[in-house]
Structure 1
């Protein structure tokens, strides 16, 4: 009995030593962060802000690799199947992670079973914008016009099933109005055609729209987040007129499931320090984002709750992509 107990204690000590060793030696080589969207988009911009500082904290190069396609599914599935060693991570936006499973018949990944959340990073500001010649200047006025003249007001999105499409569907459903959806291949093209007057409205992320807003080429009718944005405190939310309408997109860092706990702990500690950096916080805010630091368990709960919520929205909208 004494021999068995001695062996058990030795194995336990070895386990602790191995975990401590993994935390102390990781990373021993560059870390790749996969962004499942194209370069230059909001997700890519935030990822590069993060990884520059993360490299300083980890003491090794952290490289962003863009793997766009299928609304984010290709890059996300790639990380889901990568070695669970902490050297291939995923930086993604909530729309790709919690909407796609309801939207696509086959995504190639399970957002809960295939990943360990390293941590939440930031929330993104989204706004309902219009061509400057559009007479309504508020959600209330938009609703009144759309009720009077159904199927005459057009709204552009980055494509069927994208976040800005689904928020537009939420507005229609809540207000009991009919808008004409015009899907584009990307948010930039949608914003450009709203500026040009080919389409009337669009829901856009602040990183995508703020240059047009500052130049007076787009006007903001409302914030589509659940709360007003610190950078636009005087702009009301859609939910202030249409109760329950609103979404706060988030960005998060993930590792493949079964990544060693010591490696996850090392990444979480580094990420926390990065998000405490005033320079990082200021840079994120300039991009229309707010730093979003959450306990891992609360972030996991948010993911599960978002999956259920967006499944309902997608089903109500009848949006599907094969």
Structure 2
């Protein structure tokens, strides 16, 4: 597999001696002997996508924090599970990490048979990084201009409303299935190979609606080419505060994709703790938070225990959605 790599060198000379590889790293890692060489951050998708962009933005800030290079390595394939397997089977020393999206632990166990790793045992949560936001959009000529009107229209036209996604089992697919389930409507899934292709067909009116990344649809919303009916988060997003949450009309709706960092399952507690402290320090940087916010993502860390609990609760929630939708399990040969 061809791998694309980008090394973010630590900028010790430009930020002062406090980030040099000597005393600073001794202070940061004295309790575990951690952070005395480059870290590999595996992105389980191809370069140029949302996960890759976020990972590289984080990696640069993380490298500056620890005074070491952070190597971003793209290992795409099988819905992100090939990259996850690479990390799951890596040495458990904290030097190989996964930029994790919902698929690798939260949904893949119910979508892909014979995974090459155990989603809970072989990957260990380190910290949350970002909470993203999707937006429900319809074509500009679609007869509904609110969530209530969309639901009413779908109920009176069962099977006639199609929703686009970036692919089977994707966040946008499952968000649409969750909306379908909670609203009690019959809408039809139309999978595409990526969000941009799906968006083009929504704009052209070839498919009626989609629940996908806000940053993808925002230019179309601003130009009036689609209508935004609601965001997938419980609260409005700062970059588009005028778009109210879907939950205002459909109580309890929440389809907020989270990105986070995981390590090999056998990574020692001391290393996980050290990584968590460093990542939380990076995530609290106001300038970095603003950079992520510009694309609709909320940057912020948590504890390994909190992230682990979220993984388990999201697994349960999305399993119910997947089972209810009757999404076929993909068979993989290991």
* 1:147 alignment counterpart: 155
Tell me if structure 2 keeps the 8 A contact 1:225–1:237: yes
* 1:229 alignment counterpart: 237
- Structure 1 position 229, deviation (Å): 2.1
Tell me if structure 1 keeps the 8 A contact 2:104–2:119: no
Worse-superposed segment, 279-288 or 158-167: 158-167
**Partners of 1:211 and 1:147 in 2: CA distance:** 30
* 1:27 alignment counterpart: 35
**Counterparts in 2 of 1:202 and 1:72: CA distance versus 1, 3 Å:** same
1:273 partnered with 2:281: yes
Unaligned 5+ segments in structure 2 are 1-27
Q: Which has the larger radius of gyration?
A: 1
The 5-angstrom pairing of residues 1-322 of structure 1 reads: 23-24=32-33, 26-322=34-330
- Structure 1 position 264, deviation (Å): 2.4
Tell me if structure 1 keeps the 8 A contact 2:165–2:195: yes
- Structure 1 position 22, deviation (Å): 6.7
**Partners of 1:172 and 1:118 in 2: CA distance:** 33
Could you say which structure has the higher helix fraction?
A: 1
Tell me if structure 1 keeps the 8 A contact 2:134–2:233: yes
- Structure 1 position 139, deviation (Å): 1.0
Q: Name segments (4+ residues, structure 1) moved above 4 Å.
A: 19-22
The structure with higher relative contact order (CA 8 Å, sep 6+) is 1
Tell me if structure 2 keeps the 8 A contact 1:20–1:262: no
Q: How many residues align?
A: 304
TM superposition score normalised by structure 2: 0.85
Query: Can you list the C-alpha shifts for 1:102-132, whole angstroms capped at 9, x where unaligned?
Result: 1111222222211221210110011111222
Task: Provide the alpha-carbon RMSD of the alignment.
Answer: 2.0
* 2:5 alignment counterpart: none
**Partners of 1:176 and 1:309 in 2: CA distance:** 17
Unaligned 5+ segments in structure 1 are 1-18
**Partners of 1:129 and 1:96 in 2: CA distance:** 27
**Counterparts in 2 of 1:266 and 1:175: CA distance versus 1, 3 Å:** closer
- Structure 1 position 21, deviation (Å): 5.0
